[in-house]
Structure 1
């Protein structure tokens, strides 16, 4: 399995659909008889294998010598990519634009300067109409090259017109890059540090955001400038925990696409991510009715072939659709029903294992563990929490690592594994200390678990009440409430105080909100 994972050609072949494979075979046949073409035999051999194995390939294709295998694989890889490029060209306007630019280059090299300019002009108009301004600028640079070398007399005042077009397009690209860079850096900051934990961190991210946000006239912004503007605001407000504003800008992000339906087809990934942030904000706000309304839209979206165009968009929708389904069970307190989707979820995780980044996998494991915890299956919760705890890169989503350890402590306590509890407490406290994550909530929980072995069972309820009273005010403190996004500790404590399952406590709260 390790070789299959690491071999790029094998992974590419296994990702092909039946129609893509059929197109590839037709593509290579155009060159003539393919009976003796080695790379075709190599393709057939690898297509029929479950796992990648060099030795097995050499047995199946004896015409390829061991010393030739590397070159044949490289050649096959290029041929498949060329075939895929041709197959998907009608679905990707940027590929069409690049092809037109290549054709213009051929005409230029043959000395047909006016024909080349005509091709470039059509390409430039299409690039601007479809918001591909970087390609449009590349086209203009080529136009400048032709106009500066040859007297074409194509249009009067051509130099002035072309110069102004370049300046206008450059301004658009510069603004778009400023906004997209800001978005990317804020997203990276969120992955590294999570939510702002104190006034200092709030001030740092606020200063960074305000100093890097370009001054814009919103009415004159292009589609992409508006998109990056909304994205930057979503990530900033998420970090500072201003969830009403996250909702506001996520909704504007989605509506931007719905007002420009042609862009949904051209940029489905951005459209899907808009919905992901919209659903996430509604969950944080506990806006159940709107959450269900948007979730239904996403369910329909997941079946729309115009949006789910390829494996990339299929996996993207899968990730946040299942997270949202789990979040719905969290709001309802329907943990028992929630665990029923886990086999389907884990099967898809296995199917897409090489297509999902580790950060998303860790989040899914945490959600699965929380479902099992809510349903009272602490052993299963511990199993999935361990998938996070023993993940090598603890710097990836430190917040998830932190709260996985906290929930793991409580799961061990509930499961009666007291013999592991002392070690778990010490290990977790050290881990949190190193990560500078010792907020009041974590300290209170760990200190409580430390004393559980020293008190009698009849004293336990009073200690739960004391802990609840200490934590409840923290849930309303903007810098201390972050743990409650990951761990509904107050509902858990209520369940212990009332001696009822935690799911009943959540269900009572849910009934009160409806």
Structure 2
């Protein structure tokens, strides 16, 4: 909790004559002052039994959530709408049917304005219930019931379409997670057939009839399909189309900042893969402006997510422009924020940052420091979820040891790297070539290394025109390493 949230809780907890002597307030203070409170110490400090402590914790948790809800009720439109619906149910329970309908009508307009389809449908269903069970003044309005039923039918179909498009988006994304990119002609044809069948499910309505979230999900599903097929340029166009939806509906930046930031990151990432420096730079600027501007009040999760996307995109842009020293300085800044607890991404995303740190160190020839970051990734208890990250980590680890002339360690680690490459679906030909090249270097006298570098460069260039190989070279810049040996 932030300081403001804690202060608000204390004001909320001491309302209506309550005092700071209340045990749940004392429990809050005890937990707040201790970095890692233990139950045994809390029991002793509050003079209660362990059984009462559990009940007290549960009560405190409920009070904290209620306090936070009061803070965010005017900042999160869905929380505000749910409160309005709750109010209408209370009024309905007291027999004030007309007041309930008036409040529901106002809430419905807000739901439509902010693309809250599910809450819109819930409001319509409650309106229908009141109209069906009670005699109201609505019957005096011409076609009132017909219009309500028509709106309900359209909203119900919209919710169904939105759910199905969201499912398709997740399904196509899941296809990439499970099977990766299409590498062979058979895989390309199989995924093309899958997409053709998916398109039939998406063609129930014309694109112009889709709502905001339906258009986003449709564009992102198409983006993932093109990404799977290694058509990064088409995928970039789809990502741009999704992000542009927010400029046509600017209120959605406030309503769903996480989705907006994710859309910007997809554009930035695909711009990096297509070597479109202008696109990456523009989106870095957009993310920075959005995160540090005063137009949108971001919660902790949105800010953490935004900082993650922004910093990853900054690294990509610096690597693209060859500003390696600036990339190293950025790594030191982020590491300091992480040490202070100001920047704490998930373990998987932190592994991505550690690799970026190591890559920056490698590019400025700080090989010992790079090994520290790479060892931290390899030894992470949570494990690495992305095989391409693990492959690049292992290979960069071998390259750093080679540069430090730790030849025995390189020879030892190359065996495990080879086993990883043989079983992974993310293995590129350039990965295998780099391993074979390092083996040749270990067996060749230092005076003859130049010839090995030249041959390895030619081998990599012979496959570099393939999309999957280009992607591998972008994330592990073997060409830079080889060029530095010329």
Contact in 2 for aligned 1:474/1:480 (Cα 8 Å): yes
2:73 aligns with 89
Contact in 2 for aligned 1:192/1:397 (Cα 8 Å): no
User: SS at the partner of 1:307?
Assistant: coil
Gaps of 5+ in 2: none
* Aligned partner (choices 191, 196, 209) of residue 182 of structure 2: 196
Whole-angstrom CA distance in 1 between matches of 2:273 and 2:225: 15
Contact in 2 for aligned 1:197/1:480 (Cα 8 Å): no
Contact in 2 for aligned 1:182/1:209 (Cα 8 Å): no
Answer yes or no: is 1:129 the counterpart of 2:118.
Answer: no
- Higher relative contact order (Cα pairs below 8 Å, separated by 6+ residues): 1
Answer yes or no: is 1:43 the counterpart of 2:28.
Answer: yes
Greater shift, 473-482 or 257-266, is seen at: 473-482
Greater shift, 112-121 or 411-420, is seen at: 112-121
TM-score normalised by structure 1 residue count: 0.88
CA offsets 1:331-373 (integer angstroms, 9 cap, x no match): 2222223211222212333456896333322211111111111
Q: Note the C-alpha offset of 1:319.
A: 0.5
2:347 aligns with 358
2:385 aligns with 396
Whole-angstrom CA distance in 1 between matches of 2:374 and 2:428: 21
Answer yes or no: is 1:227 the counterpart of 2:241.
Answer: no
Answer yes or no: is 1:110 the counterpart of 2:101.
Answer: no
Contact in 2 for aligned 1:117/1:143 (Cα 8 Å): yes
Q: 1:152 to 1:351 in 2, by over 3 A?
A: farther
Q: Note the C-alpha offset of 1:153.
A: 4.8
2:83 aligns with 99
Gaps of 5+ in 1: 1-15, 499-514
Whole-angstrom CA distance in 1 between matches of 2:379 and 2:193: 36
Q: 1:205 to 1:59 in 2, by over 3 A?
A: farther
User: SS at the partner of 2:101?
Assistant: helix
Answer yes or no: is 1:382 the counterpart of 2:371.
Answer: yes
Q: 1:493 to 1:238 in 2, by over 3 A?
A: same
2:56 aligns with 72
Q: Note the C-alpha offset of 1:102.
A: 0.6
CA offsets 1:53-91 (integer angstroms, 9 cap, x no match): 2233234323x3222111111111111111111111111
Whole-angstrom CA distance in 1 between matches of 2:269 and 2:334: 19
User: SS at the partner of 1:476?
Assistant: coil
Whole-angstrom CA distance in 2 between matches of 1:294 and 1:367: 19
User: SS at the partner of 2:252?
Assistant: helix
Q: 1:383 to 1:198 in 2, by over 3 A?
A: farther
Q: Note the C-alpha offset of 1:51.
A: 2.3
User: SS at the partner of 2:464?
Assistant: helix
Q: Note the C-alpha offset of 1:394.
A: 5.0
Q: Note the C-alpha offset of 1:197.
A: 3.3
Whole-angstrom CA distance in 1 between matches of 2:98 and 2:223: 47
Contact in 2 for aligned 1:193/1:399 (Cα 8 Å): no
User: SS at the partner of 1:90?
Assistant: coil
Whole-angstrom CA distance in 2 between matches of 1:391 and 1:210: 41
Q: Note the C-alpha offset of 1:395.
A: 6.2
1:175 aligns with 161
TM-score normalised by structure 2 residue count: 0.92
Answer yes or no: is 1:273 the counterpart of 2:262.
Answer: yes
Whole-angstrom CA distance in 1 between matches of 2:4 and 2:355: 37
Answer yes or no: is 1:260 the counterpart of 2:246.
Answer: no
Whole-angstrom CA distance in 2 between matches of 1:279 and 1:258: 17
Whole-angstrom CA distance in 2 between matches of 1:323 and 1:161: 50
Answer yes or no: is 1:471 the counterpart of 2:460.
Answer: yes
2:325 aligns with 336
Contact in 2 for aligned 1:127/1:133 (Cα 8 Å): yes
User: SS at the partner of 2:12?
Assistant: helix
User: SS at the partner of 2:289?
Assistant: helix
Q: Note the C-alpha offset of 1:191.
A: 4.2
Whole-angstrom CA distance in 1 between matches of 2:443 and 2:310: 45
Answer yes or no: is 1:140 the counterpart of 2:124.
Answer: yes
Contact in 2 for aligned 1:198/1:479 (Cα 8 Å): no
Whole-angstrom CA distance in 1 between matches of 2:454 and 2:44: 70
Count of residue pairs brought into register by the alignment: 481
Whole-angstrom CA distance in 2 between matches of 1:330 and 1:56: 51
Measured on the aligned residues, the alpha-carbon RMSD in Å equals 2.2
Whole-angstrom CA distance in 1 between matches of 2:192 and 2:228: 10
Q: 1:444 to 1:265 in 2, by over 3 A?
A: same
CA offsets 1:263-314 (integer angstroms, 9 cap, x no match): 1111111111121112212222222234323322322222113335111121
Whole-angstrom CA distance in 2 between matches of 1:201 and 1:361: 32
Whole-angstrom CA distance in 2 between matches of 1:437 and 1:320: 23
User: SS at the partner of 1:91?
Assistant: coil
Contact in 1 for aligned 2:334/2:343 (Cα 8 Å): no
1:371 aligns with 360
The residue correspondences of 1:306-325 to structure 2 (distance < 5 A) are 306-325=295-314
Whole-angstrom CA distance in 1 between matches of 2:100 and 2:78: 19
User: SS at the partner of 2:59?
Assistant: helix
Whole-angstrom CA distance in 2 between matches of 1:269 and 1:233: 20
